[in-house]
Structure 1
Amino acid sequence: MLLFLLGVLVLHIIILILLIVSTAASAWSVGGDSSTDLWYNCMTTNGGYHCKPAGNEDWIQAVQALMILSLLFCFFSLIAFVFQLFKLVKGGRFFFTAIFQILASVFVMCGAIIYTVMRPDDGAGTQFGYAYVLAWVAFPLCLISGLIYIVLRKKE
Structure 2
Amino acid sequence: MLFILLGVLLLHLVILILLIVSTAASAWSAGVDKSTDLWYHCQTTSGSYQCKHASNEEWIQAVQALMILSCIFCFCALIAFLYQLFRMVKGGQFFFTAIFQILASVFVMCGAIIYTVMRPDEETITHFGYAYVLAWVAFPLCLISGLIYIVLRKTE
TM-score range, shorter chain: over 0.9
Alpha-carbon separation, structure 2, partners of 1:125 and 1:35: 7
2:45 corresponding residue in structure 1: 45
2:72 corresponding residue in structure 1: 72
Compute the displacement of 1:125 (Å).
Answer: 4.6
| TM-score (norm: length of structure 2) | 0.99
Indicate yes or no: 2:138 matched with 1:138: yes
Alpha-carbon separation, structure 1, partners of 2:149 and 2:104: 13
Q: How many percent of aligned residue pairs carry the same amino acid?
A: 80
- Contact kept in structure 1, 2:29 and 2:125, CA below 8 Å: no
2:83 corresponding residue in structure 1: 83
Q: 116-125 or 20-29, which moves further after superposition? A: 116-125
List 4+ stretches of structure 1 deviating above 6 A.
none
1:32 corresponding residue in structure 2: 32
Distance 1:80 1:149, change over 3 A: same
How many correspondences in the alignment? 156
Q: Which digits, 9 at most, give the CA deviation of each residue in 1:58-95, with x for residues without a partner?
A: 00000000000000000000000000000011100000
Compute the displacement of 1:17 (Å).
Answer: 0.3
| Structure 1 unaligned blocks of 5 or more | none
Distance 1:35 1:125, change over 3 A: closer
| TM-score (norm: length of structure 1) | 0.99
- What residue identity is the alignment partner of 2:83? F
- What residue identity is the alignment partner of 1:86? F
- What residue identity is the alignment partner of 2:3? L
1:150 corresponding residue in structure 2: 150
Give the match's secondary structure for 2:41.
Answer: strand
Give the match's secondary structure for 1:23.
Answer: helix
- What residue identity is the alignment partner of 2:13? I
Compute the displacement of 1:126 (Å).
Answer: 1.9
- Contact kept in structure 1, 2:34 and 2:44, CA below 8 Å: yes
Alpha-carbon separation, structure 2, partners of 1:60 and 1:124: 19
